[in-house]
Structure 1
Amino acid sequence: MTNPTPDEQVSELEELAMHRAKIAEETKNLDTLRKEYDEKIAALAGEGTTQAGPYKISVTRARRLDAKKIEAAYPVAQHPEIYKRAVDTDAFKKTVAENNREPYTTLGSPTVRIS
């Protein structure tokens, strides 16, 4: 097998980018449609579990604690037991030279953007 020429590479990249752009658009449209259906289902079924033919539909609402409200009602000075120390990565970046940060860095998945 021979290596592709630069022109062949560009052509293959163009084709892949075109297909990826189509998939991204279809995914966006399907995600929007799914969200619309979820809103309609939640409005019709209400919270809880409902049987609809062969489907068991469960509607729940996420419950999250509001950290700002907790901080206002339970200041750290009076309630240190509910607080934790955390590494300030911004301060770390300011303190440690960039070339010394590598051992403390992890790489995520590659991000591909096509415009």
Structure 2
Amino acid sequence: MNDNATTAGNPDGEVKWETLQAQAARIASLQVDIKRAQDEIDRLKTQILENWPVGSYEAGDLKVQVKAGSQRLDAKRFAQAYPAASNPKLYKVAPDVSAARRALGEDALADLMRRDKASVVVK
């Protein structure tokens, strides 16, 4: 979709636009390749998990480790078993950003916010 108002009569703008289109098309193509590769990796890992118990294995020049899943506390079940009101020492307090924005406004939080690295999305 060429923005003629921006590029009309401006050869540099047209070249820049064509470059963006080519870059976006290449990113989209690579994303398809990555998705295919990731799907195959996931299938292979699932097969290994189904066929090998937890442990380390030599596979030619490679080493395969089958690890038990990380153990995490089920916060909802924990809260039911040990309510915060009865067990305050077992809980941490963290800021609620949405509530702070509503109560204080965006300007009051501006200096307290951090932004992650910029990114590009191509669909």
Given the two structures, how large is their TM-score scaled by the length of structure 2?
0.82
Indicate the SS of the match to 1:37: helix
Matched pairs, number:
112
Indicate the SS of the match to 1:84: coil
Does residue 46 in structure 1 map to residue 60 in structure 2? no
Partners of 1:85 and 1:99 lie apart in 2 by 23
Measured on the aligned residues, the alpha-carbon RMSD in Å equals: 1.6
Indicate the SS of the match to 2:25: helix
Percent identical across equivalent pairs? 25
Amino acid in the other structure paired with 1:58: Q
**Measured at CA, do residues 36 and 106 of structure 1 come closer, stay the same or move farther in structure 2, by a change above 3 Å?**
same
Amino acid in the other structure paired with 2:40: L
Indicate the SS of the match to 2:65: strand
Partners of 2:82 and 2:53 lie apart in 1 by 34
Does residue 12 in structure 1 map to residue 19 in structure 2? yes
- Contiguous gaps of at least 5 residues in structure 2: 1-10
Partners of 2:93 and 2:108 lie apart in 1 by 23
Deviation at 1:76, TM superposition (A): 1.3
Deviation at 1:79, TM superposition (A): 1.3
Partners of 1:43 and 1:51 lie apart in 2 by 17
Partners of 2:55 and 2:77 lie apart in 1 by 28
1:86 equivalent among 90, 94, 110: 94
Partner of 1:29: 36
Deviation at 1:64, TM superposition (A): 1.3
Partner of 1:98: 106
Given the two structures, how large is their TM-score scaled by the length of structure 1?
0.87
Does residue 62 in structure 1 map to residue 70 in structure 2? yes
Deviation at 1:39, TM superposition (A): 0.5
Indicate the SS of the match to 2:63: strand
